[in-house]
Chain A
C-alpha cells in the first residue's frame, strides 16, 4: 500500500453533501465532501455488511450507510447507532481545490 500523501484530484469530483469511492493503489477509500465544504476519508465498505459507504446519506459529519441505516461520525469514525461498529478513517484535506489523502489508517476509538 502506498504510504505518504496521495493526490486524489479536484474537489469538484465529489458533489457537495455526497461521497465517492477512490482507488489508491490496491486500497479503496470513501471520500466525503460535506455541505460545510470539508472533506473526510474512511474505509470504503461498511463494517456491518459491506454496504458501499460512499452511497450513504450525510447530515453534517454524520454518515448513514445505504443498506441498513447504521450511522457513523466521519471525524472520529465512531459508530453512533451501534457503538461497537467503527470506521477506519484516513487523514484528508484540500489544498488549492485539490483533495489529498494519507492512506494510513486511523482506527476508530471506542465510542463514548
Chain B
C-alpha cells in the first residue's frame, strides 16, 4: 500500500511537536509528511524569545528543529510559505507562493499573532504598524526591536502580563528607559491576585522599570514614527519605541476561508479533529476545545500527542479532555507558580495564605472540599511540584495545611515523585516528561548534568532545574553521581589540576602535544589546548616548549580579536600613568594607521581598536611601548589613584606602588585574568576593594590586601587577607597569593570563585601564616616566572611562525 500524505500548516511549537509525536509512533512508514511554515526557518522555542531580545542567545541558540532535522526525517518543509487556501473538495492546500500540496490528512497549527488593541494612530494608512510600534511574537519581531532600540531612549510596553514584563526587562538591557502600561488594576491578573500583583510591581520597580497600572492607552502619537502615548485619563507619556503585548489572537482565518466552524478559534472535537471535516485536525493556539483556548505549551503538547495517536491509528480512542492550567514561570528572575483560580469564588472556599513582603515571598492556596482549586506561589516555589500535582490530579490534601506551604512533615519528595504520572511534563521549555528523564537515567545517565545535556531538560528558562535534579536523584535512589569530569582540569584527561601538574613534572612533559599523547585518550581536544599551555607555562616557565598552535589566536598575535576579525592594541601604561611624549606618540600612531577608534578603557589606558592583523607589528614598533596584555589569561593591569603625590587625603603612594607592581608582574600567565589596583586611602577611587588583588593604604606605611574582589559579571567585595606593615611586605604577600592561585585555580576560574571554593581561612593560613611550609617555594616560583617573561611585542621584528601576521596569502599561481 502506498503511503498517505500528511500535510501540516504551521511550523511552530505545536506543529513541529505534533510531527515529532507522529514520527515516534512509526509515522514515517505511514505518511509522506509535508510542512508549511510562514517563518523562514525550522521550528524554534518561542518561550525563549526574550533571550533574543536581550542578546543572550541568537537564533541558533533557541532552534529546536534545525533544517537538517526535517531532511533527516524525510519531511518536505516549505519554510517561508504562507498557506492561504484549503480546497477541501480537491484535498489540496495552496500557499501564497503558488506551491500546492495534496493531502490525505491535514493538520492546522497556525498558532496566534500579537493582538493590537484599537488605538488611534497605531496603524499607518496601508494598515502597517506605525514605525516604532512592534508586536512581540516572532524572531523577526525581536530582531526589529533590537535594531530600533539602538536609536531609542524611552520604551513603553503595553501589557503587564508575562510577555509584557519580559519585554520591558529586555528593554532596560538594551539601554532604554523602560515603562509598562497595564490596563488592569494589577500585574499578571490572569495568574496573580491583587496582593501578589502588588508585590511583583514593587520588585519590578526595583529593577528600574516604571509600572503604570489601571491605564488604558487610547492613542499612539506621532506622524511618521511614534513619539508618545496618550491615555484615557488624559495623561501622556513621551516615548520612541512601543511594544504591544496586550494579548494574542488565534490565526484561525484559514479555517474561516475553508468553511470550518470558527468561533473564538477553530472548533475541534476530543480527537482534535475539526467538527466539520474528519480529515482535518487542529492543534495548538488556533484550536478551540470544549469552548477553551490554550496559550501555554504544556496543553498544546498534550493535544499534539492525542492527534498523533489518533492519526497514526495507534490509539483510535485517543481523546483530549482539556487541561487544568498549572504553570511555573520565571518572570524577570522572580520564580512563580500559579494554578487554577486566583481568588475564592465560593463561600466555603478555604484560603491559606502567607506573605513576607521584604523577601518578595507570597503564597496563597484556595482549598475546596479538601482539594486544591487555586494557588499562587511567588519568590519561594519549592512546594510547587507537589501542589501542581495535587491540583492536576484533584487529589485530597493533607489536613495539616501549613505543610502545604512549608517543608515540615510534608509528604517527602519520594512519595511525590512516585505518584507523579510518567507523562507529567517537567521541563516546559523543551517538553521533557518524567518518562523522558527516567528513560535517560535507565540508559545510563547518572548525574543531573548528564540528564540535562542529553534531554535538554532545564536548559530553557531554567525554572525547573531544581526539580530535574531532585527527580534524577530520586530515580537513582539518591545515588546521584557527580559527573567526575567537572573536577578534571580539562575534560579528556582524568586528572585534577594538582595531579596533572605532578604527572607533567614526573613524566617531563613540556609541550601540549606530549600531554595529550601521554595522558589523554589519543584525541586532541582543540578547546583544551590553551588550558594546557597555561598550566605548562606555570610549571616549566622558561623551559616550556611553546607550540604556537596550542595558543588561542589572541596569544598568537598578542592582540584581542574582535567581532569582525580585526584586533585591538592596548599598550602598557602602569597605573594609568604616562609621559606627555608617550601620549603624543600614541596619538601619532593612531593617525598614521588611520585607527578607526581610540578609546580609554576601564583599565586606565588607551585602546587602539579595529586594526588589521598585518599592521600589528608596524604599530608596535612605532609605538615603542611594551605590550599591555589586554588579550590574555594573564596579569592585566594595576589601576591606581593619585595617592600621596597630589591627593589631600592620600595615605600611601598608590601611583608609585601600582607602577612597581605592573613592572614586576607584566606578562605573567594565569588561569584567568588578574586585575589589580592600589588605592591611596579607603575612599577607594581606583576600586581596589573589587579587584582580584587590591591594596588599600591605611596610613603609617600600612597596606590592606584584599583578594577575590569582582566587579564584572559578578560583584563581590574582596576578602581582607591581611594588613601588611609596608609596601615590601604587601608586594610579597600579594605575590604569594597570586602564585598559590596560579597553581591551584581551575582554567578560567577567576579569584572570586577561587576564594569561594578554597575559603579565606585556608588561603590566609597558606600564604600569610605559612601553615603548609610552601611560602618559600611560592616565592621562588613567582621569581622564576617573572624572570622568564619576554615582551611578546618583540615578535614585531622577529616573528615566531610563518605568516604570523599575514591576514591573506595570495595563491602562488593558478593552473
Q: Do A21 and B68 have beta carbons less than 8 Å apart?
A: no
CB of B780 closer than 8 Å to a CB of A: no
* Interface pick from B123-131, B479-487, B548-556: B548-556
CB of B803 closer than 8 Å to a CB of A: yes
Tell me which of A5, A49, A59 contacts B529 (CB under 8 A).
A59
Q: Do B523 and A59 have beta carbons less than 8 Å apart?
A: yes
Q: Do A9 and B60 have beta carbons less than 8 Å apart?
A: no
Q: How far is the CA of A4 from the CA of B513 in the complex (A)?
A: 37
Q: Do B814 and A25 have beta carbons less than 8 Å apart?
A: yes
Residues of B within 8 A of A7 (CB): 811-815
Which B532-558 residues sit within 8 Å CB-CB of chain A?
Answer: 547-550, 552-553, 556
Q: Do B526 and A57 have beta carbons less than 8 Å apart?
A: yes
Residues of A within 8 A of B66 (CB): 82-84
Residues of B within 8 A of A71 (CB): 526-527
B240 to chain A, nearest CB (A): 28
Q: Do A59 and B524 have beta carbons less than 8 Å apart?
A: yes
Residues of B within 8 A of A50 (CB): 564-565
Q: Do A15 and B802 have beta carbons less than 8 Å apart?
A: yes
Q: How far is the CA of A83 from the CA of B67 in the complex (A)?
A: 9
Tell me which of B63, B528, B803, B808 contacts A23 (CB under 8 A).
B808
CB of A13 closer than 8 Å to a CB of B: yes
Residues of B within 8 A of A84 (CB): 42, 60, 63, 66-68
Range of interface residues on B (Cβ < 8 Å): 35 or more
Q: Mark A1-13, 1 if CB is under 8 A from B, else 0.
A: 0101111110011
Residues of B within 8 A of A35 (CB): 513, 524, 549
CB of B408 closer than 8 Å to a CB of A: no
**In the complex, which residue of chain A has the Cβ closest to the Cβ of B554?**
A66
Q: Mark A29-58, 1 if CB is under 8 A from B, else 0.
A: 000000100000000000011111001111
Q: How far is the CA of A17 from the CA of B524 in the complex (A)?
A: 11
Q: Do A23 and B513 have beta carbons less than 8 Å apart?
A: no
Known contacts A12-B802, A59-B529; A83 and B809 CB within 8 A of each other: no
CB of B224 closer than 8 Å to a CB of A: no
CB of A69 closer than 8 Å to a CB of B: yes
Residues of A within 8 A of B810 (CB): 22-23
Known contacts A66-B561, A84-B67; A48 and B60 CB within 8 A of each other: yes
Q: Do A9 and B809 have beta carbons less than 8 Å apart?
A: yes
Residues of B within 8 A of A60 (CB): 523-524
Q: Do B803 and A110 have beta carbons less than 8 Å apart?
A: no
**In the complex, which residue of chain A has the Cβ closest to the Cβ of B523?**
A60
Range of interface residues on A (Cβ < 8 Å): 35 or more
Q: Mark A51-83, 1 if CB is under 8 A from B, else 0.
A: 110011111101110110101000000000011
CB of A28 closer than 8 Å to a CB of B: yes
Q: How far is the CA of A95 from the CA of B67 in the complex (A)?
A: 39
Residues of B within 8 A of A24 (CB): 811, 814
A92 to chain B, nearest CB (A): 12
**In the complex, which residue of chain A has the Cβ closest to the Cβ of B812?**
A9
**In the complex, which residue of chain B has the Cβ closest to the Cβ of A69?**
B527
Q: Mark B561-575, 1 if CB is under 8 A from A, else 0.
A: 101110000000000
Q: Do A66 and B552 have beta carbons less than 8 Å apart?
A: yes
Q: How far is the CA of A5 from the CA of B812 in the complex (A)?
A: 12
Q: Do A18 and B549 have beta carbons less than 8 Å apart?
A: yes
**In the complex, which residue of chain B has the Cβ closest to the Cβ of A15?**
B801
Which B786-815 residues sit within 8 Å CB-CB of chain A?
Answer: 801-803, 806-815
Q: How far is the CA of A22 from the CA of B803 in the complex (A)?
A: 11
Q: Do A22 and B523 have beta carbons less than 8 Å apart?
A: no
Residues of A within 8 A of B813 (CB): 6-7
Q: How far is the CA of A9 from the CA of B42 in the complex (A)?
A: 42
CB of A111 closer than 8 Å to a CB of B: yes
**In the complex, which residue of chain B has the Cβ closest to the Cβ of A17?**
B549
Residues of A within 8 A of B803 (CB): 13-14, 20
CB of B72 closer than 8 Å to a CB of A: yes
CB of A85 closer than 8 Å to a CB of B: yes
CB of B236 closer than 8 Å to a CB of A: no
Q: Do B524 and A15 have beta carbons less than 8 Å apart?
A: no
Q: How far is the CA of A67 from the CA of B529 in the complex (A)?
A: 16
**In the complex, which residue of chain B has the Cβ closest to the Cβ of A68?**
B58
Residues of B within 8 A of A18 (CB): 548-549, 556, 801
Tell me which of B58, B525, B547, B565 contacts A52 (CB under 8 A).
B565
Q: How far is the CA of A23 from the CA of B565 in the complex (A)?
A: 16
B802 to chain A, nearest CB (A): 5
Q: How far is the CA of A83 from the CA of B42 in the complex (A)?
A: 13
CB of B776 closer than 8 Å to a CB of A: no
B708 to chain A, nearest CB (A): 27
B640 to chain A, nearest CB (A): 33
Q: How far is the CA of A24 from the CA of B813 in the complex (A)?
A: 9
Which B428-482 residues sit within 8 Å CB-CB of chain A?
Answer: none
Q: How far is the CA of A22 from the CA of B813 in the complex (A)?
A: 12
Q: Do B563 and A57 have beta carbons less than 8 Å apart?
A: no
Residues of B within 8 A of A58 (CB): 524, 526, 549
Q: How far is the CA of A12 from the CA of B806 in the complex (A)?
A: 14
Residues of A within 8 A of B807 (CB): 21, 52
Residues of A within 8 A of B529 (CB): 57, 59
**In the complex, which residue of chain B has the Cβ closest to the Cβ of A29?**
B811
Residues of A within 8 A of B550 (CB): 17
Residues of B within 8 A of A2 (CB): 814
Known contacts A50-B564, A56-B553, A67-B561; A8 and B526 CB within 8 A of each other: no
CB of B71 closer than 8 Å to a CB of A: yes
Most chain A CB neighbours (cut-off 10 Å) among B523, B525, B550, B815:
B815
CB of B530 closer than 8 Å to a CB of A: yes
Residues of B within 8 A of A62 (CB): 526
Tell me which of B523, B556, B809 contacts A13 (CB under 8 A).
B809
Q: Mark B402-415, 1 if CB is under 8 A from A, else 0.
A: 00000000000000
Q: How far is the CA of A4 from the CA of B811 in the complex (A)?
A: 13
Q: How far is the CA of A44 from the CA of B528 in the complex (A)?
A: 23
Q: How far is the CA of A71 from the CA of B67 in the complex (A)?
A: 18
Q: Do A83 and B68 have beta carbons less than 8 Å apart?
A: yes
Known contacts A14-B802, A82-B60; A6 and B811 CB within 8 A of each other: yes
Residues of A within 8 A of B58 (CB): 48-49
**In the complex, which residue of chain B has the Cβ closest to the Cβ of A31?**
B809
Q: How far is the CA of A82 from the CA of B556 in the complex (A)?
A: 26
Q: How far is the CA of A49 from the CA of B58 in the complex (A)?
A: 10
Q: Do B563 and A67 have beta carbons less than 8 Å apart?
A: yes
**In the complex, which residue of chain A has the Cβ closest to the Cβ of B68?**
A110
Q: Do B548 and A15 have beta carbons less than 8 Å apart?
A: yes
**In the complex, which residue of chain B has the Cβ closest to the Cβ of A63?**
B526
Q: Do A22 and B561 have beta carbons less than 8 Å apart?
A: no
B747 to chain A, nearest CB (A): 14
**In the complex, which residue of chain A has the Cβ closest to the Cβ of B566?**
A52
A1 to chain B, nearest CB (A): 10
B76 to chain A, nearest CB (A): 15
Q: Do B530 and A57 have beta carbons less than 8 Å apart?
A: yes
Q: How far is the CA of A98 from the CA of B813 in the complex (A)?
A: 11
Residues of B within 8 A of A12 (CB): 802
Q: 15 pairs across A/B with beta carbons < 8 Å?
A: A6-B814, A7-B811, A7-B812, A15-B801, A21-B807, A23-B809, A23-B811, A49-B58, A52-B807, A57-B529, A57-B549, A66-B561, A83-B68, A84-B42, A84-B63
Nearest 4 Cβ contacts at the A-B interface: A17-B549, A59-B526, A84-B66, A9-B812
Q: Give 17 new A-B contacts, CB below 8 A, not counting A9-B812, A21-B807, A63-B526.
A: A4-B815, A7-B815, A9-B809, A14-B802, A17-B548, A18-B549, A18-B801, A20-B809, A22-B810, A23-B810, A23-B811, A25-B814, A56-B526, A59-B525, A59-B526, A66-B552, A84-B63
